[in-house]
Structure 1
Amino acid sequence: MNIIKRFIYTGMVSDLLVLAFIIAITVNYNNEANLAPLSLFMILQLGILWYFCRICMFLFPVISNYVIYTILLIGLIEAIWGLGQLYNFLPSKHFLFKTTGSFFNPGPYGGFIALMFPLALHFWLIYKKKNRILEYLFLAVGIVLLLVFPATLSRTAWIAAIIGCLLVVLFDTKAIAKLKNFKKQHPGKVISLAAIITVLFMGSIYGIFHLKKDSANGRLFMWKITALAIRESPVQGVGLGGFPAAYAQAQMDYFKSGIGSETEKQVAGSPEYAFNEYLRIFLEQGVLGGILFLLLTVFIIRSGIRNKQIGASGSFLTLSVFAFASYPYYLWEFLVMWVLLGSVCVSKTEKAHRKKKTKRNIYNFILFLIVLFACTLLCLKQLQLYSQAKKEWTKIRPLYNMRSYQSVMDGYAQLYPRLNHDQKFVFEYAVTLNAVKQHAKADSVLARGLQLSCDPMFYNVKGRNYHEMKKYKEAETCYLNSTYLLPERIYPYYLLTKLYADSANYQPQKMKRAAHAVLEKEPKVHSTAINEMRDEVKKILKSKEIEDEK
Structure 2
Amino acid sequence: MVFFSFSKLDVSLFLLVGYIILNRYVIQTYFGFSIRYLELVGLSFLYVILRNISLANSLWLLLTIVISGIFQAVYGNLQLLGYCISNHSGFKMTGSFFNPGPYAGFLVSVWSVALGMYLFKIKIISQLQSQTKNDSFLFNEFIKKAFEYIPLLGLISIAIVLPATQSRAAWIAAIASSVILMELRYRFLSNLFRKATIKFQKTAIVLFSVGILSTGLFSIYHYKKSSSDGRIFIWKVTTEMIADTPVFGVGFDRFKTHYMNYQANYFEKNRETRETMVADNTYYAFNEFLQFIVENGLIGFMFLMVTAFILFKVKAKEDYKYLSLVAKTGLFGIAVFACFSYPMQILPIKLVLVFLVSTLSNIDGDTYQLKYNQSKERSWAFKTVILVLGAICIYQTNLYASNLNKGFIVWENALNSHQYGDYNEAISAYKSVYTVFNRDGDFLMNYGKTLAIVGEYHKAIEVLKQAKCFLNTSVIETSLGDSYKAIKQYNKAEAAYQNAINMIPSHFYPNYLLAKFYDDSGQEQKAVVLAQKILSKKIKIPSTAIDEIHEEMREILVKNKKPLGFKN
Aligned 1:238-253 pairs, distance under 5 A = 238-253=250-265
* Alpha-carbon distance, 1:539 to partner: 1.9
Q: How many residues align?
A: 529
**Counterpart Cα distance in 2 of 1:534 and 1:87:** 39
Task: Kindly state the Cα deviation for residue 410 of structure 1 after the two structures are TM-superposed.
Answer: 3.3
Q: Tell me: CA distance 1:102–1:380, structure 2 relative to 1, closer, same or farther (3 Å).
A: same
Query: For residue 166 of structure 2, what is the aligned residue in structure 1?
Result: 153
Q: CA deviation at 1:295?
A: 2.4
Q: Does 1:50 align with 2:47?
A: yes
Residues 212, 180 of structure 1: alpha-carbon distance in 2 compared, 3 angstrom cutoff: same
Counterpart of 2:174, as a letter, is A
SS in 1 for 2:469: helix
Q: 1:343 to 1:530 in 2, by over 3 A?
A: same
TM-score calculated relative to the size of structure 1: 0.87
- Give the equivalent residue in structure 2 for 1:3: none
Contact 1:48/1:372 (<8 A) preserved: no
In the aligned structure 2, how far is the partner of 1:123 from the partner of 1:411? Answer: 49
Deviations 1:426-456 (A, max 9, x none): 2332123223332222111111222333420
Distance change (3 Å), C-alpha of 1:428 and 1:145: closer
Specify which of 468, 474, 487 is matched with residue 456 of structure 1: 474
Distance 1:377 1:521 in 2: 58
- Equivalent residue, structure 1, for 2:38: 41
Alignment of 1:337 with 2:317, yes or no, is: no
Q: C-alpha offsets along residues 372-411 of structure 1, whole Å, 9 cap, x if unaligned?
A: 6654543343232222112123334443223333344333
Which structure 2 residues correspond to residues 142-181 of structure 1 after superposition, within 5 A? 142-174=155-187, 178=191, 181=194
Going from structure 1 to structure 2, the CA distance change for 1:305 and 1:95 (only over 3 Å counts) comes to: farther
1:305 Cα deviation from its structure 2 partner: 6.3
Percentage identity across paired residues of the two chains = 28
* 2: CA distance, partners of 1:91 / 1:203: 36
Q: Which residue of 2 aligns with 1:348?
A: 363
Cα deviation, residue 354, structure 1:
9.9
Deviation, 1:510, is: 1.9
What is the aligned partner in structure 2 of residue 29 from structure 1?
Answer: 24
The answer on 1:205 being equivalent to 2:211 is no
Q: State the one-letter code of the partner of 2:445.
A: F
**Counterpart check, 1:288 vs 2:282:** no
Asked whether the equivalents of residues 18 and 47 of structure 1 are also in contact (C-alpha less than 8 Å), the reply is: no
Q: In structure 2, do the counterparts of structure 1 residues 288 and 418 end up closer, same or farther at CA, with 3 Å as the change threshold?
A: same
1:136-535 aligned within 5 A = 138-174=151-187, 178=191, 181-184=194-197, 191=203, 194-258=206-270, 262-303=273-314, 308=321, 309-348=324-363, 374-502=392-520, 505-535=521-551
Deviation, 1:113, is 1.3
* Aligned CA distance change for structure 1 residues 16 and 30 (closer, same or farther; 3 Å): same
Residue 131 of structure 2 is matched in structure 1 by: none
Q: Is the 8 A contact 1:85 1:92 kept in 2?
A: yes
- Kindly indicate whether the alpha-carbon contact (under 8 Å) linking 1:75 and 1:116 is maintained by their aligned counterparts in 2: yes
Structure 1 residues 167 and 357, CA gap change in structure 2 (3 angstroms) = farther
Q: Within 2, Cα distance between the matches of 1:170 and 1:365?
A: 48
The answer to whether the 8 A contact 1:93-1:102 is kept is yes
1:316 positional shift: 1.3
8 A Cα contact 1:304 1:344, kept in partner: no
Report the counterpart of residue 18 of structure 1 in structure 2: 13
Q: Deviations over 1:498-534 (max 9, x none)?
A: 22223xx433332222111221112222222222222
Tell whether the 8 Å contact from 2:117 to 2:151 is kept in structure 1 after alignment: yes
Alpha-carbon distance in structure 1 between the residues aligned to 2:493 and 2:150: 65
Deviations 1:285-335 (A, max 9, x none): 111222212322332233276762211221111111111111111111112
Hey, what's the Cα distance between the residues in 1 that align with 2:252 and 2:526?
40
Structure 1 residue corresponding to 2:119, chosen from 121, 125, 139: 125
Task: Give 1:40's aligned amino acid.
Answer: Y
SS in 2 for 1:523: coil
CA displacement, residues 338-378 of structure 1 (integer Å, 9 cap, x when unaligned): 211110122118xx799999998999899868756654543
2:58 paired residue among 54, 64, 81: 64
Using a 3 Å threshold, how does the CA distance of structure 1 residues 43 and 194 change in structure 2: closer, same or farther? closer
Matched, 1:536 2:559: no
Contact map agreement 1:156 1:322 (CA 8 A) in 2: yes
Q: 2:93 & 2:72 partners in 1: Cα distance?
A: 10
State the AA in 2 paired with 1:141.
G
5+ residue gaps, structure 2, are: 127-143, 563-568
Moved more, 32-41 or 12-21: 32-41
Tell me if the contact between 1:304 and 1:310 (Cα under 8 Å) persists in the aligned partners.
no
Cα offset, 1:265, TM superposition = 0.9
Is residue 88 of structure 1 aligned with residue 88 of structure 2? no
Give 1:300's aligned amino acid.
L
Q: Is the 8 A contact 2:23 2:296 kept in 1?
A: yes
CA deviations on 1:448-503 (whole Å, 9 max, x unpaired) are 2223334201111101111111111111111111111111111222122122223x
Mapped to 2, the partners of 1:52 and 1:427 lie a distance apart of 38
Superposition CA RMSD, Å? 3.2
Contact 1:52 1:372 in 2 (8 A): no
